[in-house]
Amino acid sequence: MKLEAQAVTKRYGAHAALDGASFVTGDTARVIALLGPSGGGKSTLLRVLGCLLVPDDGSVTIDTRTLPHDEDGALAERRKNGFVFQGYNLFPHLTALQNITLPLREVHGMSGAQAEQRALELLHRLGLAGHEHKRPSQLSGGQQQRAAIARALAPKPRLLLLDEPTSALDPVMTGEVLDVIRELAEAGQSIILATHEISFARRVADWVVFLASGKVQESSSAAGFFTRPETGLAQHYLEGLSKYR
Amino acid sequence: MLYALVLLAFASAVFYALFTSVAYQWDWEGVWRYRQQFGYGWLTTMMLSLVAMIVSVALGFLLMLGRRSPWEPLRMLCGGVVELVRGSPLLVQLLIGHYIIANALRIDQPIFTGIILLGCFEGAYLAEIFRGAVESISASQLEAARAVGLDKVQTYRFVIIPQALRRALPGTTGQLVSLIKDSSLLSVIGIEELVQKVKIMNAATYKPLEGFLPLALAYLIVTLPLSHLARRLERRFAYET
């Protein structure tokens, strides 16, 4: 897919989380990593790209479609996407299974039996067999995040958007979750991933968008970005992150 | 259980001592003669309370939605109603509601007026309990609901209400218990519920106190089980967040 953003601005009060962010990816980008320092606008850009937020200004085009700015259009668009958040955001009053079947039934019009079958298939694939009927509080962070990925994947989304999916996890659980994401990427899923896991991004991403201070500083192929970052900011960022790993 | 029995025995002893220390000639015959009237009064109170509960929960829910509406006039209206009703005594509301508003509207049904007024009064409190519970649902839950593609109504139905219900439960039961007790004020607009029956009985038997003891018991046999039921429900809904 080809992503193009033009002067996207999103303000929260006086603070502009995105301040005229513009970039364009290659025509065949499939796994796009959003990198950059915290507070640079990665999460906000991810939400705009997934239609979870409507920008105050500017426009986003995916292939030839321009993303809508009205709530109904954004809702229709969101229903084709899958989201995974840093804090998992599972529904605490529902079991892992119900977390997945609820949107399948209510949003995607599946029957109860179909939804359950699809949910079980995913839970088993993501290594959560035996945990189907547990509530989120009874699962570890890694298990919760995998359940959240299962929920996002269940309706077969056109685009999977992940917002720092491993930032709240310890290294072992981080490994579990990154394995799942890598398998999805290798299986052909279109992904946009905001992350600080630089070596993971280097391994799975084919395009990198580097943000700082609400602006896109650099947008280039992953191979190019990791070998020859153009801006001083990006060089500094990469050096800082790879210091101890 | 044993602890409860000991406590009960102790409380009974204290009450017995207090009652015998007062120089008052207790005479229960009048109460016994009026037992049937007492029973009718009790039934009226329960019926009134039950219908008023339904009215108050429905109204509380609507007022809560109104206070969260994106449309400012509606928000202000519902906020104003809640503050006015919560800020003034039920007694005044009953008198104005019955003798002025119902009278002007030519509604000559004190029971109907009473149920509506009591339902409004408790509904205003419930609206705030519900609003507190709904607004305690974190923004990340709302974002998750948006992310999986739920629309506004679905978000309320499947995400907000089930979680808010549990948080609203203790406050709501307290309010419903209050409602049953507050229904005693309906005697001022001439409804022959329990308190009114007791007042009639006291006047007829020239006994100012006897009727009030069974009166307290008659409320307690409903309010205590209600509180107990609520605690059981709370446990059933309990889950870690």
Beginning with the edge strand found earlier in the chain, give each strand of the sheet holding A15-24 in spatial order. Answer: A15-24, A3-12, A57-62, A65-66
Asked whether the predicted pLDDT for residue B240 surpasses 70, the reply is: no
The identity of residue B9, as a single letter, is A
- Residue range A15-27: mean pLDDT, rounded: 91
pTM: 0.83
Of all residues in chain A, the one with the smallest CA distance to B240 is A137
Is residue B149 classed exposed, middle or buried when 0-12, 13-18 and 19+ CB atoms within 10 A define those classes?
A: buried
Chain B residues within an 8 Å CB radius of A103:
148-150
Which domains, and CATH codes, for chain B? 40-233 (1.10.3720.10)
In this predicted structure, what is the pLDDT of residue B193? 84
pLDDT confidence bin for B108, thresholds 50/70/90: confident
Identify any residues that bridge with A161 across adjacent strands, giving them in sequence order: A83, A192
Tens of pLDDT, residue by residue over A130-164, are 999 999 999 999 999 999 999 999 999 999 999 99
Other C-beta atoms lying within 10 Å of the C-beta of residue A56: 13
A214 and chain B in contact, CB less than 8 A: no
Tens of pLDDT, residue by residue over B56-90, are 999 999 999 999 999 999 999 999 999 999 999 99
In this predicted structure, what is the pLDDT of residue A245? 65
| Angstrom distance (rounded) from CA B148 to CA A95 | 16
Chain B residues within an 8 Å CB radius of A89:
140-141, 143-144, 147
| Angstrom distance (rounded) from CA A212 to CA A42 | 8
Tens of pLDDT, residue by residue over A30-58, are 999 999 999 889 999 999 999 999 999 99
CB contact under 8 A, A91 and B241: no
Pick the closest to residue A232 from A217, A214, A215, A216 (CA basis). Answer: A217
| Angstrom distance (rounded) from CA B167 to CA B170 | 7
Of all residues in chain B, the one with the smallest CA distance to A88 is B144
Choose from A106, A135, A159 for mutation: most chain B CBs within 10 A: A106
In this predicted structure, what is the pLDDT of residue A146? 93
A69 and chain B in contact, CB less than 8 A: no
Of all residues in chain A, the one with the smallest CA distance to B148 is A103
Please tell me whether the interface predicted TM-score (ipTM) of this complex is above 0.85: yes
Residues 157-196, chain A, touching B (beta carbon < 8 A): none
CATH 3.40.50.300 intervals, chain A: 3-80+158-242
DSSP state letters, A153-197:
HTT--SEEEEESTTTTS-HHHHHHHHHHHHHHHHTT--EEEE-S-
B27 and chain A in contact, CB less than 8 A: no
Indicate the angle between helix axes B35-67 and B194-205, nearest 10 degrees. 150
| Angstrom distance (rounded) from CA B38 to CA B153 | 46
* Nearest residue, CB atoms, B146 vs list A52, A91, A93: A52
Tens of pLDDT, residue by residue over B139-177, are 999 999 999 999 999 999 999 999 998 889 889 998 999
Of all residues in chain A, the one with the smallest CA distance to B163 is A93
B62 and chain A in contact, CB less than 8 A: no
CATH number for the domain whose boundaries are A3-80+158-242: 3.40.50.300
| Angstrom distance (rounded) from CA A214 to CA A44 | 9
In this predicted structure, what is the pLDDT of residue B79? 94
Cβ(A36)–Cβ(A198) under 8 Å?
no
Of all residues in chain A, the one with the smallest CA distance to B140 is A89
CB contact under 8 A, A85 and B241: no
Asked whether the predicted pLDDT for residue A108 surpasses 60, the reply is: yes
* Nearest residue, CB atoms, B149 vs list A78, A90, A92: A78
Tens of pLDDT, residue by residue over A150-200, are 999 999 999 999 999 998 888 888 988 899 999 999 999 999 999 988 889
- Residue range A215-244: mean pLDDT, rounded: 88
pLDDT confidence bin for B93, thresholds 50/70/90: very high
| Angstrom distance (rounded) from CA B144 to CA B20 | 64
Cβ(A6)–Cβ(A58) under 8 Å?
yes
Task: State the nearest Cα–Cα gap between A147 and chain B, in angstroms.
Answer: 13
CB contact under 8 A, A89 and B147: yes
CB contact under 8 A, B140 and A83: no
